[in-house]
Amino acid sequence: MGDSVLFEQSGRVAILTINRPDKMNALSEGVRADVLAALDRIAEDDGIGVVVLTGAGEKAFIAGADIGEFAGRSPFDQRHAMRSPRIFDVMASYPKPVIAMINGYCLGGGCELAMSCDIRVASDKASFGQPEINLGLIPGGSGTQRMPRLVGSGQAMRLILSGDRIAAAEAAQIGLVDLVIPHEELRAKTLELAARIASKSPLTLKVAKEAVRAADRLPIEEGLLYERDLFCLCFSSADKEEGVRAFLDKRPAAWTGR
């Protein structure tokens, strides 16, 4: 694993920590490459069911793209820097659930990365925003597309056009964040949630994530048909047989991920 991303494992939960606290964990090319490499490795590891993404230090989750890399850069160089695979898309289609544990500033590309995760859990000290407008830019890591889907067009316009920063409580109120936790309890409570999710069948988690993600792109009629097909597909798994049998036998299920 590269130096800019720290890896820890707690049971079936992997914790990835972006480790540039002196630069507010800004997403440089190197950080993005290290995150992608870590995700690649974790995807193949059957011992890990859930990924938690967070930032090192007391102040920032991620304060956006590394602004230093933008100065003097040509459009072609920028296009190269934005080549696929992009962490935002990899996160959204990742085969395991990813929880953003937002411990501080969650700005620009950091907010876009959080929005690409499946669940956002924030410290009550965290703050959120898309300040690219102040740099003569617009969000380029999926913010103009993911934010309106999460919070509606009006709130997305307000944040993207003004560059205003909002506190965690307001972010939760508009649906940008799913849970707000007192800062001191953030890690413990997030890891509890992650462990609960990681105790489910990995196979079923993958299918559930795929079904919910489809709601981002499919019209409701097609989404409902897709859900029905995926639901029926679950009937081919050993874990469905085990889950139903365990309920009827009044015992905990023992998942095999098959």
Which residues form the catalytic set?
Answer: 65, 109, 112, 132
Considering only residues 14, 15, 24, 35, which one is a binding residue for ligand COA as defined by CB under 6 A?
24
Which of 66, 118 has the CB closer to ligand COA? 66
How many Å apart are CA 75 and CA 59, to the nearest integer?
A: 32
CB of 21 to ligand COA, least distance (A): 9
Q: Which residues pair with 82 in a beta bridge?
A: none
Among 15, 35, 63, 114, binds ligand COA (CB under 6 A): 63
Q: Residue 64 interacts with ligand COA (CB under 6 A)? A: yes
Q: Which residue, 140 or 257, is less far from ligand COA as judged by CB?
A: 140
Half-sphere exposure in the Cβ direction for 72 (13 Å, CA)? 1
**Judged by CB, which is closer to ligand COA: 18, or 174?**
18
# residues near ligand COA by CB under 6 A: 16
Q: Which is nearer to ligand COA, 59 or 149 (CB)?
A: 59
18 interacts with ligand COA by CB under 6 A: no
Residue numbers 168-207 binding ligand COA by CB under 6 A: none
Q: Which among 30-38, 59-67, 82-90, 171-179 is the span making contact with ligand COA, rule CB under 6 A?
A: 59-67
R_g of the chain computed on alpha carbons: 19
**For ligand COA, the closer CB: 97 or 108:** 108
Q: Rule CB under 6 A: say whether 66 interacts with ligand COA.
A: yes
Q: What is the 3-state secondary structure (H, E, C) of the chain?
A: CCCCEEEEEECCEEEEEECCHHHCCCECHHHHHHHHHHHHHHHCCCCCCEEEEEECCCCEEECCECHHHCCCCCHHHHHHHCCCCCHHHHHHCCCCCEEEEECCEEECHHHHHHHHCCEEEEECCCEEECHHHHHCCCCCCCHHHHHHHHHCHHHHHHHHHHCCCEEHHHHHHHCCCCEEECHHHHHHHHHHHHHHHHCCCHHHHHHHHHHHHHCCCCCHHHHHHHHHHHHHHHCCCHHHHHHHHHHHCCCCCCCCCC
Position among 15, 65, 87, 119 found at the interface with ligand COA (CB under 6 A): 65
Interface residues for ligand COA in 99-158 (CB under 6 A)?
Answer: 105, 107-109, 131-132, 135
Contact positions with ligand COA (CB under 6 A) in 211-250 = none
The residues binding ligand COA (CB under 6 A) are 23-24, 26, 63-68, 105, 107-109, 131-132, 135
